[in-house]
């Protein structure tokens, strides 16, 4: 597997995009970050977040103290203006519901080259705060990456966030970071292997749920893992 490298243009534009978007968020909202001590600096990891709206990835990426690699649906690159921002940051495009070996190689290369990867286990944004079940494809990435998972809960990026923010309501945004999770190894085969993968993905989501208010728990309401 070849080493993952950013292009010279992305190395230049990514910090600019990060500072610009972070500044906009600070104008629009009071920001609260909890649990920075749980970030495993200096080693590979996957950052797993809940996904309510389009504001989640830019919020977490611009306030995260390390540069995150981000994957996004190819359709996100089809919107003018948004496309340029995604390209300037160096977001990795994904064709949903399609197997892409080259994409997986890129993802694993990025992680093992020391670039933390941001993933939303739910796949697409839900449009509501209640969490949806993790997608099987994410469970595969968790298994093959073999790195710790850092759970992150985002509060406040609701569907009406932009309407409230542009009216000067300054809706608060909160990012809560939990301790890293080392998932149990998977040794089963066939259908049982798929079940074990899904169980690991659900375990990550239960940890994320533990960082969020009750109304965010959704399908994980009965399996929330709270910080002790």
- Name the pTM for this structure: 0.93
Look at the chain and report how many structural domains it folds into.
Answer: 1
162 belongs to a structural domain? yes
Distance CA 116, CA 222 (A): 30
203 belongs to a structural domain? yes
Q: Domain of 14: which CATH number?
A: 3.40.1130.10
pLDDT tens by residue, 64-97: 999 999 988 888 888 888 899 999 999 998 876 6
Strand order in the sheet with 149-155: 31-34, 173-177, 149-155, 46-49, 117-119, 69-73, 92-94
53 belongs to a structural domain? yes
224 belongs to a structural domain? no
Does pLDDT of 190 surpass 90? no
What the block records as the tokens of 39 is 């970030």
pLDDT tens by residue, 92-149: 988 766 677 888 899 999 999 999 999 999 987 777 899 999 987 888 899 899 999 9
Domain range for 196 is: 8-214
What the block records as the tokens of 175 is 């990012």
225 belongs to a structural domain? no
């Amino acid at each position: 597997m070849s080493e993952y490298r950013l292009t010279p243009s992305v190395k230049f534009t990514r910090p600019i995009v990060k500072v610009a978007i972070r500044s906009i968020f600070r104008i629009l909202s009071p920001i609260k970050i909890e649990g920075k001590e749980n970030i495993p600096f200096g080693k590979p990891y996957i950052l797993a977040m809940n996904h309510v709206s389009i504001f989640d990835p830019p919020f977490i990426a611009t306030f995260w103290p390390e540069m995150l690699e981000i994957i996004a649906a190819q359709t996100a690159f089809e919107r003018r203006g948004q496309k340029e921002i995604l390209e300037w940051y160096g977001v990795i495009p994904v064709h949903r519901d399609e197997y892409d070996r080259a994409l997986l190689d890129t993802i694993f290369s990025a992680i093992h080259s020391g670039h933390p990867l941001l993933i939303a286990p739910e796949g697409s944004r839900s449009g509501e705060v209640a969490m949806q079940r993790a997608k099987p494809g994410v469970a595969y990435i968790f298994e093959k990456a073999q790195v710790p998972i850092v759970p992150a809960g985002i509060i406040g990026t609701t569907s009406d966030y932009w309407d409230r923010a542009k009216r000067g309501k300054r809706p608060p945004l909160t990012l809560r970071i939990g301790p890293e999770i080392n998932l149990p190894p998977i040794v089963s085969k066939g259908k049982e292997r798929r079940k074990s993968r899904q169980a690991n993905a659900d375990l990550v989501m239960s940890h994320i749920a533990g960082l969020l208010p009750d109304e965010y728990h959704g399908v994980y309401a009965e399996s929330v893992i709270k910080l002790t």
